[in-house]
């Protein structure tokens, strides 16, 4: 039933039976139910810990909505420790957390390693294909492409309109393709464009430009490349 919450309570005293408590938006049979509290603040208020176990192969808890609105599950923490801990010990190759769909993290993501994993393009029904992420101690963005110089050995490379607003500390790499020739960056990046010059005309050049992020979030959240472990974690290994 829409806008309803069903709470199933099991009692094991003289004999086992089930009792249902229905909380409806318009007709409230019980204004609030408190577990571990005499002053519930919500229709169902649990003060303390909860344990959910099941021998079923599927989900122990299911929370969701079919409406076109934001999520029905919010998890937050106001202490100085970890907000949510997932300690899922599964068989080798299993996942501690499996997200089917897109995910957004409004903060830093730290990990021991990372890959993309897809169905193998040459044998999608029988194999997977994985590639490792490219790591760096800096927040680096990479831009690349191929371009051919004109009759004067000149080529103008146009970068995205946001390039200089997002990046700083530009670095260049050029590789000539197909002929023995020299290639230089004859004009550095200005107004999201730079110039390549080759010693011979009509020369194809593969180029790569990197920049470090300078957006507001990146400036306020620099990567701590090396740091001391807190006293509570000294003598312990992170991934054991």
Condensed to tens digits (0 to 9), the pLDDT of residues 182-223 reads 999 999 999 999 999 999 999 999 999 999 999 999 999 999
- Higher local confidence (pLDDT), 114 or 30: 114
Residue 13: which pLDDT band, with cuts at 50, 70 and 90?
A: very low
| Residue carrying structure tokens 């790499």 | 173
Question: Is the model's pLDDT at 161 over the cut of 70?
Answer: yes
Decide if 161 is inside a domain.
Answer: yes
pLDDT of residue 16: 35
- Go through 38-51 and write b for each residue having 16 or more CB atoms within 10 A of its CB, e for each that does not: eebeebeeeeeeee
First to last CA, the chain: 46
Question: Is the model's pLDDT at 6 over the cut of 60?
Answer: no
Extended strands (E) in the chain: 4-12, 16-24, 33-35, 44-46, 115-119, 128-132, 140-148, 154-158, 167-177, 183-190, 193-198, 204-213
Decide if 231 is inside a domain.
Answer: no
pLDDT of residue 62: 61
pLDDT of 80-109, one tens digit each? Answer: 666 677 766 666 767 777 788 888 888 888
Q: Using CB atoms within 10 A of its CB, is residue 216 exposed (0-12), middle (13-18) or buried (19+)?
A: exposed
Clarify whether residues 1 and 86 are in a common domain.
yes
Clarify whether residues 152 and 86 are in a common domain.
no
Decide if 101 is inside a domain.
Answer: no
- What domain range includes position 85? 1-90
Clarify whether residues 71 and 149 are in a common domain.
no
Mean pLDDT score of the chain: 81
Interior angle at CA 146, CA 143 and CA 150, nearest 5:
130
Decide if 225 is inside a domain.
Answer: no
Clarify whether residues 4 and 81 are in a common domain.
yes
How many distinct structural domains can be found in the chain?
Answer: 2
Question: Is the model's pLDDT at 18 over the cut of 90?
Answer: no
pTM as predicted: 0.69
Candidate from 23-37, 38-52, 147-161, 225-239 with smallest mean pLDDT: 23-37
Clarify whether residues 4 and 86 are in a common domain.
yes
Pairing of strands 128-132, 4-12: unpaired
Clarify whether residues 79 and 8 are in a common domain.
yes
Q: Identify the CA nearest to 150 among candidates 205, 191, 83, 230.
A: 205
pLDDT of 47-84, one tens digit each? Answer: 887 777 666 655 556 665 666 666 556 666 666 666 67
Q: Identify the CA nearest to 165 among candidates 192, 194, 138.
A: 192
For residue 29, what is the DSSP state?
A: S
3-state SS, residue 216: helix
pLDDT of residue 189: 98
pLDDT of residue 19: 42
Decide if 65 is inside a domain.
Answer: yes
Clarify whether residues 12 and 79 are in a common domain.
yes
């Amino acid at each position: 039933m829409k806008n309803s919450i069903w709470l199933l309570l099991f009692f094991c005293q003289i004999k086992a039976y089930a009792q249902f408590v229905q909380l409806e938006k318009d007709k409230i049979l019980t204004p609030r139910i408190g577990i571990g509290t005499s002053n519930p603040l919500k229709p169902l208020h649990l003060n303390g810990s909860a344990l959910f176990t099941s021998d079923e192969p599927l989900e122990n808890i299911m929370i969701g909505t079919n409406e076109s609105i934001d999520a029905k599950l919010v998890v937050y923490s106001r202490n100085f420790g970890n907000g949510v801990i997932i300690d899922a010990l599964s068989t080798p190759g299993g996942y501690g957390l499996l997200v089917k769909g897109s995910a957004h993290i409004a903060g830093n993501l730290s990990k021991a390693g990372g890959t993309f994993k897809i169905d193998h393009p040459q044998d999608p029904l029988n194999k997977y294909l994985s590639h490792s992420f490219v790591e760096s101690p800096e927040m680096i963005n990479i831009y690349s492409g191929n371009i051919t110089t004109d009759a004067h050995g000149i080529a103008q490379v146009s970068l995205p309109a946001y390039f200089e607003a997002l990046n700083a500390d530009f670095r260049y790499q050029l590789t000539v393709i197909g002929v023995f020739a020299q290639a230089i960056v004859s004009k550095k990046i200005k107004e999201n464009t730079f110039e390549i010059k080759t010693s011979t005309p009509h020369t194809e050049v593969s180029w790569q430009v990197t920049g470090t992020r300078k957006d507001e979030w990146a400036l306020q959240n620099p990567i701590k490349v090396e740091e001391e472990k807190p006293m509570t974690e000294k003598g312990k290994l992170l991934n054991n």
